[in-house]
Amino acid sequence: MRDTGTRLNPLDLLASLFDSGRGAYKLDEVAWRAAMALPVFDGLDETARLHLRERTQGLLADKAFSGAGGLEMDAAMATTIAAFAVLPVLNLEEGWYSGWVEVVVYPGEFIFDGEQMDETGVVHHVRHARSGEAMAGGPLVLSWQDVQGAGRGEGFNVVIHEFAHKLDMRNGEANGRPPLHAGMDPAAWAEVWLAAYDDLCRRVDGGEVTQIDPYATESPAECFAVLSEYFFEAPHVLHAEYPEVYGQLVQFYRQDTLARLRQAGGIIGT
């Protein structure tokens, strides 16, 4: 059973205010080998894995990883989280995760109790269990239990989801439109994502059981984060459902995850 009674405590986020705790953990070799055996990393060649390792070490040095809600953080946990987090930015320039300090980890889901603005600009008070939370300019919060369920090629990865929000926030509030690389067409991005979002909302609202997690219909920001999870964890599902979105993410992340997994023999019948 998930721990849904732990309330997110602002006092657990102090490292972000005082810039403390950075570099407390070094890469744990056992955790690294376990992570590299997960399906989400299938198809990465030796050069890519070496680069991933170097970037993981860099993220461990750059961020403070803090346990909360009774969780005792250790190097193995930090290594696992950092490896997942680096995968999306593996082929991007340094600095995409800059401007904030802390990753806070709870044992399981935590209770978020606060204000949240909807798409129309109306602020609502919300209180519900979450497995992750990315705060603009502030810390990123994760459920360790949910981190442990990631990487299995099932379309779920709370680390990639929350770090995708951080990428989205590079040009302000998360809205599903992260800063695009030179040569990418913002109009094409907007058109493709809006079409996919509207289609998924229509299908979910109509009671259809979709292969894509219906949480993607919460907002364009959640759509970007959820579909980023599928891009890395289950690219065959995303490509089959929304091939144009898949193409946009190939350009944005500068990776072709489906081709990589096919070459590794990880995708059957696609």
Residue with tokens 């750059």: 62
Q: Which distant-in-sequence residues (6+ apart) come within 8 Å of 2 by Cβ? A: 108, 109, 129, 143, 145
CATH number for the domain running over 6-170: 1.10.472.150
pTM of the model: 0.88
pLDDT one digit per residue (tens) for the chain, 270 residues? 333 456 655 545 555 444 458 989 999 999 999 999 999 999 999 999 999 999 999 999 999 999 999 999 999 999 999 999 999 999 999 999 999 999 999 998 766 555 555 555 555 445 456 777 898 888 999 999 999 999 999 999 999 999 999 999 999 999 999 999 999 999 999 999 999 999 999 999 999 999 999 999 999 999 999 999 999 999 999 999 999 999 999 999 999 999 998 988 865 444
Q: Decide if 92 contacts 180 (C-beta within 8 A).
A: no
Domains 6-170 and 186-263 share a fold: no
Residue ranges of domains in the chain: 6-170, 186-263
Q: Which CATH number is 186-263's, of 3.40.710.10, 3.90.1150.10, 3.40.390.10, 1.20.120.80?
A: 3.40.390.10
Residue with tokens 């300019």: 137
